[in-house]
Amino acid sequence: MGMPDRRVFLLVLGTLIAGLAGCGSRRVRDPGTGDGAAATPGVGAGAALPDPVGADVPGGLLDAIEHRRSLRDFADKAVPDEQITRMLWAAQGITDPVRGLRAAPSAGALYPLELYVASAEGVHHYLPERHALERVGRHDVRDGLAAAALRQSFVAEAPVVFVITGVYARTAGKYGERAARYVHIEAGHAAQNLLLVAESLGLGGVPVGAFVDDAVRRVIDAGEEETPLYVIPVGSPAR
């Protein structure tokens, strides 16, 4: 028997033996011990999985996932700087300084996203490498962002409005035509991190995708190479 035939024969034989061994037994093999004696709760054909929220991970991440809801009705209450900082860090902060890797995954670790925050204090641009903000404008542009976002007035009513932009060229050098797909996916990763931290801080927000790109770019004074991908107003719930 040649090698491929022999492999097929052994595979069929193994399948038959495994089938016979399973006859008459409906026990579920315990993946933890491998002894087959105890069924793992929730593991088996059609069995319900354990309640994910009841068994939350430390830090309450599952709780934040469960309770996150898009918020458009904001209280007239400032968001403290340290909370803004945490949201910026969650979206694009450096979490591995040695390798320069960030909180949100990035295709090829090329990091095509830029992050801005607009508030009554003006517009600031996040610098992940220094975990710092650079001021790009002194004026409150939230009205301008709301106008750019097809007059969705809640954008102007939020105490802080984050804007995520993407530079396709950074990713296109390596990934060509798939760059746009990758950059959009990454904006989703970053936005979700930000929104979950907002939720865990008792805040809320909404990811807004309906806006005029050029108008958003102009309002926050972003570079020509940047494409606005998300406008995310954040604040405390009005009630």
Site residues for ligand FMN per CB under 6 A: 69-70, 72, 152, 206-210
Q: How far is the CB of 206 from ligand FMN (least distance, A)?
A: 5
Contacts from 62-66 at CB under 8 Å and sequence distance 24+?
63/200, 64/196, 64/197, 64/199, 64/200, 65/196
Of 17, 78, 15, 22, which is closest to residue 45 (Cα–Cα)? 22
Q: How far is the CB of 184 from ligand FMN (least distance, A)?
A: 9
- Which one, 128 or 211, has the nearer CB to ligand FMN? 211
- Which one, 133 or 152, has the nearer CB to ligand FMN? 152
Q: How far is the CB of 210 from ligand FMN (least distance, A)?
A: 3
Rounded distance, CA 131 to CA 95, Å?
11
Per DSSP, helices labelled H in the chain are: 3-22, 61-67, 81-92, 142-148, 154-157, 168-175, 179-200, 213-220
- Which one, 118 or 133, has the nearer CB to ligand FMN? 118
- Which one, 43 or 185, has the nearer CB to ligand FMN? 185
In Å, how far from its chain's centre is CA 22?
43
Instruction: Tell me the residue type at 159.
Output: P
Q: How far is the CB of 65 from ligand FMN (least distance, A)?
A: 11
Q: How far is the CB of 208 from ligand FMN (least distance, A)?
A: 4
Rounded distance, CA 161 to CA 123, Å?
9
- Which one, 57 or 210, has the nearer CB to ligand FMN? 210
Closest residue to ligand FMN: CB criterion: 209
Rounded distance, CA 147 to CA 152, Å?
7
Rounded distance, CA 190 to CA 136, Å?
21
- Which one, 133 or 194, has the nearer CB to ligand FMN? 194
- Per the CB < 8 A criterion, the answer to whether 54 and 63 are in contact is no
Q: How far is the CB of 195 from ligand FMN (least distance, A)?
A: 8
| Contacts of 69 by beta carbon, 8 Å cutoff, 6+ apart | 204
